[in-house]
Amino acid sequence: MLAKRADFLAANRGRRQPMPGFVLLVRDRQDGDPVKRVGFTVTKKIGGAVVRNRMKRRFRVLARELLPEHGIAGADHVLIGREGGVERDFAQLRAEMEKALRKLAAGGGQPPRPPRAKAGKPTR
């Protein structure tokens, strides 16, 4: 389980697969450890604490079911909740998660995003 902010920031430099209910980020740690780690994030834009916690509970169940079989060994997986994801049918969410994991395992997905400019510092 990912807990440190640095792990989430590192995962953000990995490949991404956007889906209607979530965005899946996967980053190979390249440390020789085959453990599949997972983290979840849902912003306040999505809803209050009740809505965010419900969405994270759904993500935990999906991760428990799908990561052992479809996850990428030695990688960090981060699920980012999207607007409307909490209302999606669970079976549909599960199918989307399988599809996203298959695409990323096959080397697909969007490439990493370039780092953002730091807030408060002028860019030239």
Q: Looking at residues 69-95, what average pLDDT do you find?
A: 95
- The reported pLDDT for the residue numbered 121 is 66
| C-alpha to C-alpha distance for 2 and 24, rounded to whole angstroms | 14
- The reported pLDDT for the residue numbered 117 is 73
State the chain's mean pLDDT as an integer. Answer: 92
| C-alpha to C-alpha distance for 119 and 123, rounded to whole angstroms | 10
Q: Is the pLDDT of residue 123 over 70?
A: no
Phi-psi region of 74 (alpha: psi -120 to 50; beta: other; left: phi over 0): left
Dmax over CA atoms of the chain, in Å, equals 48
H helix or E strand, kind and range, residue 18 = strand 15-18
